[in-house]
A and B are shown apart, each in its own frame.
Chain A
């Protein structure tokens, strides 16, 4: 079996597979296990876990406790193609390699939802996830004036982590629309049932209050301003204008499934109208319409680290079951636990649903960062007859740059659909083709084959 992605879902999938004696390869782009959430967990010392907090430290439990000859961890491996028959192609230490697996579990996790605001391509603007990544490895803290802006649990968490480390946060600017809270409130019972997230959220809020950064809520009209470098974040709250000077602006608008692999495999995807993102279709045990290919974790729909780990367990149990192991009890147990964990999602999904401003930014906002296509440019192309995102891509180039549409795919579709007054399903998503990551001529040439005459 091969598992792609060494976050919570992938790590648990490998551990469970090994319990059943299944020989397993684990591939991840990072140099060490952990994924985004538990990045660098194996090397984090006490000082680091004190800053990052107990939720981060939980990741230690997922690391293997001893050497295991049946487990092949391949880190620093950027997977750029997988095939329906189990081929996995990846770049590793500046060369390309391939392996074949009878079963594949895709645990490729989430990516941060793009938060296009005017000026977000200025130097000095990064994502909150990037700020946290630099903290986890190699241990960098911002200095100078830092502003955090947007919506989502990570924004609170990073503010608290920076606060614990003594970073002075100039402002925490939340864009979460007030209306979201009312919609979420209806789903409170699920949050109570799950329990842990509610406790964590309350603790974070108390901590933030104690740390005391300037905290703006329901902010609108965000703009990063500056010439050579970001100078300030401008916005309004209740009609009142604010301008907060900053050297570093960290943006966040929640996370969405990373669909690059499932799209390139032409798997069916379903639109999530609350979270405004596509979810690859999967069934029990993460099964997809490709036999022997399963999904687990945030890549199949955002579920959070704890539920992702359970999905990794269930996917590996399903593989073990197919190999003739008796797994029914373990499946039932993990399934019950998963449904309890998932009970919190409807609340969180509604509370942190992206607001209209983020989905339909003003004309002068760059949407495709690679090709510098603006929201206005997309609306022009819509007016000229573009009916779906692939026509738009062919004509206006959004999604054609090195990020392969990761940073603009959702926004391009939202802007186009709203411009045409069409449901998002009609404007579709970028048709993605391998390689899923840029790959050099040298590496591709290794897979040349003798041709028929």
Chain B
């Protein structure tokens, strides 16, 4: 796993309960209420988007449901 691109603010967001999700078989810690697109980069999964046409690797882009 690479160094995460993002870290969690310690004092903030602790309200969400910790839970485990699995990405390609790998256990990842997430918080209740995370979007998948937020939980993965927070756990160090950098590139998990495959472009719709050529499946080129990518990351989430707009995080607002537009792209």
Binding site for B on A (CB under 8 A): 29, 31, 36, 43-45, 47-48, 51, 78, 111-112, 121-127, 129-130, 133-135, 137-144, 165, 228-229, 247-248, 258, 369-372, 401-403, 406-407, 437
Contacts and interface: CB of A to CB of B under 8 A. Distances in A.
Nearest to B12: A139
Contact of B64 (A129, A141, A144): A129
Given A44-B12, A51-B9, 6 more contacts: A112-B64, A126-B63, A141-B7, A369-B51, A369-B67, A407-B62
A229 B38 CA distance: 18
A140 B46 CA distance: 14
A45 B5 contact: no
21 contacts: A36-B64, A111-B64, A111-B66, A121-B58, A126-B59, A126-B60, A126-B63, A130-B60, A130-B61, A134-B63, A138-B13, A143-B6, A165-B9, A248-B5, A369-B51, A369-B61, A370-B53, A371-B53, A372-B53, A406-B66, A407-B62
A289 B61 CA distance: 35
B56 A47 contact: no
Contacts of B24: none
A138 B10 CA distance: 11
Interface of B: 3-9, 11-13, 15-16, 31, 33-35, 38-39, 41-42, 46-47, 49, 51-54, 56-67
A407 B66 contact: yes
A125 B59 contact: yes
B7 A140 contact: yes
Residues of B contacting A: mostly: loop
A138 B8 CA distance: 8
Contacts of A406: 66-67
Most chain B CB inside 10 Å of its own CB: which residue of A51, A137, A437? A137
Nearest to B6: A140
Contacts of A143: 3-7
Contacts of B35: 138
Contacts of A43: 15
Nearest to B4: A143
Contact of B33 (A127, A137, A437): A137
Given A138-B31, A406-B67, A121 B51 contact: yes
Nearest to B9: A139
A125 B61 contact: yes
Contacts of B47: 123-124, 228-229
B65 to A, nearest CB: 6
Contact of A29 (B16, B34, B46, B65): B65
B51 A47 contact: no
A139 B66 contact: no
Given A126-B59, A140-B9, A112 B66 contact: yes
A124 B66 CA distance: 18
Contacts of A29: 65
A124 B62 contact: no
A47 B9 contact: yes
A139 B51 contact: no
B53 A133 contact: no
Contacts of B9: 47-48, 51, 135, 139-141, 165
A29 B42 CA distance: 22
A450 to B, nearest CB: 34
Given A111-B64, A121-B58, A248-B5, A140 B53 contact: no
A134 B9 CA distance: 11
Contacts of A370: 51-53
A123 B3 contact: no
